[in-house]
Amino acid sequence: MRHLAVAFFATARALSAQVSPAEIEEASETGRRAAVALLRGDRRVLQEAFAADSIAVRFLGEEVWRGLSDRQRDRIRSLVRERFAEALEPPRGSVGDVAWSSARAQDNTVLVFLGLRYPAGVLKTRWSLSRAAGGWRVQDVVLSDPGLSLAADAGRSFGSGTVRQRNRGSKAWAAALPRAVGLAAILAILLFVGRRLAPAGRRLLLLTAAAPAILFLVDGFLAVQRVLSEPYLVPEVLSAVSWQGAERAALAAQREGRLGEARREWERAVAAGAPASPADYQLGLALKAAGRIGEAKEAFLRALSRSPAAPGASKELGLLALADGNSAEARDRLRRYHEEAGPDPDALSALAVAEANLGQKERAVESVEQARMLVTDRWNGVRLQAQVYARAGDAEKAVETLRVLEPNGLLDRESLRSDPTYLPIATDPAWVKFLSETPTPKE
């Protein structure tokens, strides 16, 4: 009976800790609001939505965090928030928005997948939120494809001995000594000069010396008090992570098409301690854009062989396999990507195409339905679904789906005739009849 009671209470605790659908939506809305605010350049949300304290404790430890003064904690909170803002804000003078979103529970955490749209494209991110006093707080944001944690990136700036315990006695003496020397100098001047002055002159000299003497006393007292109240040393200016210079140089070389130099800079960054898989992933993207597909595949495979791997490499290899006509490999790669990095409309649409090519019609429709649920543009979702039906050879379903566009004036039969996506149903009577119809006027 005792074992049954223990099992019962353990199950009850587990059930009570589960996140309800309403809580998932609440957490998701918190993440979306924070993202939208940052994409519009509003940093005030960082203080409200981001759990800067728990992020700092994760890397410094509870004991060190408790030992810091309020001034030092504020300094570290500011650093954490700054790292998130630098990574997520759009370029100066521009704004972004949320292209798509999805959320799911994982233990007591809610994972919110957000596609952040910038002028240069869409960035896939995963936001981890947990319960806290007053609501949900962001614990981390991961750049999904390279697999980069922004919380870990912030932690590197004040980890590895940057925040360290200090000898308060010697530091207090070092802080007090220059002020004591200043006071001694003032006293020496008073004694040496004052004895040679008349009483009126001595009073004037005392009044003149009183101001700097008081400043030395107050400043010395505050300096010593600060040292004695701060058992840990937090530098006022934190140095950049050792590999950031090489990383910036690598990205700049990629943008300018100097891929040999980019490769060398990525190697230098990794040698200095940068995570290896994101470097391979970024190099693979540059090689793919330059048309060097064989080298790009090698870079993506390296990115997957690292620990931790860069999930985006699975997606890129899947897209390359799909372009080569290898639908089975594309399906497997894209499914793995979906499991590791979460959903996004582009990957799900490509997965649907691969599944349709393999004759897995029901799975293809399921994948494209998931994509439709993510996108804010309903009509693009309709087009995606019609394309999947076409690749699966179901002309009637493709036609039925496309008819939804016609009343809104969004159907262009001429472009459908030349779209290679619909080649599998090009000779089907239902498709031929549909294309030959006179367009229905927009309602």
| 120-175 per-position pLDDT tens digit | 889 999 999 999 877 899 999 999 999 999 998 887 776 556 776 664 555 554 55
Lowest mean pLDDT among 15-24, 105-114, 143-152, 324-333: 15-24
What is the arithmetic mean of pLDDT over 86-115?
91
Report whether pLDDT(53) > 70. Answer: yes
Torsion angle (degrees, nearest 10) of CA 275, 278, 282, 288: 130
What is the arithmetic mean of pLDDT over 347-358?
89
Confidence at residue 237, expressed as pLDDT on a 0 to 100 scale? 62
Concatenated DSSP letters of 88-135: HSPPTT---EEEEEEEEEETTEEEEEEEEEETTEEEEEEEEEEEETTE
Extract the tokens encoding 116. Answer: 């952040």
Confidence at residue 13, expressed as pLDDT on a 0 to 100 scale? 41
Report whether pLDDT(300) > 50. Answer: yes
Residue range 317-443, CATH number: 1.25.40.10
Q: What is each CA distance from 208 to 78, 199, 212, 440, in whole angstroms?
A: 41, 14, 8, 94
**Residues 237-256, buried b or exposed e (16+ Cβ, 10 A)?**
eeeebebbebbebbbebbee
Rg, the chain, Cα only: 31
Lowest mean pLDDT among 173-177, 248-252, 438-442: 173-177
Highest-scoring range by mean pLDDT, 178-182, 303-307, 368-372: 303-307
How far apart are alpha carbons 129 and 82 in whole angstroms? 19
Highest-scoring range by mean pLDDT, 201-205, 299-303, 360-364, 392-396: 299-303
Q: What's the gap between Cα 342 and its chain centre? A: 14
Lowest mean pLDDT among 25-34, 119-128, 220-229, 398-407: 220-229
- Coil, helix or strand for 106? strand
The amino acid occupying position 1 is M
Contact (Cβ atoms closer than 8 angstroms) between residue 68 and residue 162 = no
Concatenated DSSP letters of 173-190: HHHHHHHHHHHHHHHHHH
What pTM value is reported for the model? 0.74
Its CATH class, for the domain covering 240-310, is mainly alpha
How far apart are alpha carbons 425 and 406 in whole angstroms? 20
Its CATH class, for the domain covering 2-164, is alpha beta
Confidence at residue 16, expressed as pLDDT on a 0 to 100 scale? 42
E strand segments, 218-291: 232-233
Convert the pLDDT of each residue in 191-249 to its tens digit.
666 556 666 665 665 666 566 666 656 665 555 556 555 667 777 666 667 788 899 99
Concatenated DSSP letters of 374-414: HBS-HHHHHHHHHHHHHHTT-HHHHHHHHTTTGGGT---HH
Confidence at residue 227, expressed as pLDDT on a 0 to 100 scale? 55
List the one residue out of 441, 388, 370, 295 whose CA is nearest residue 101: 370
pLDDT category at 378 given cuts 50, 70, 90 is: low
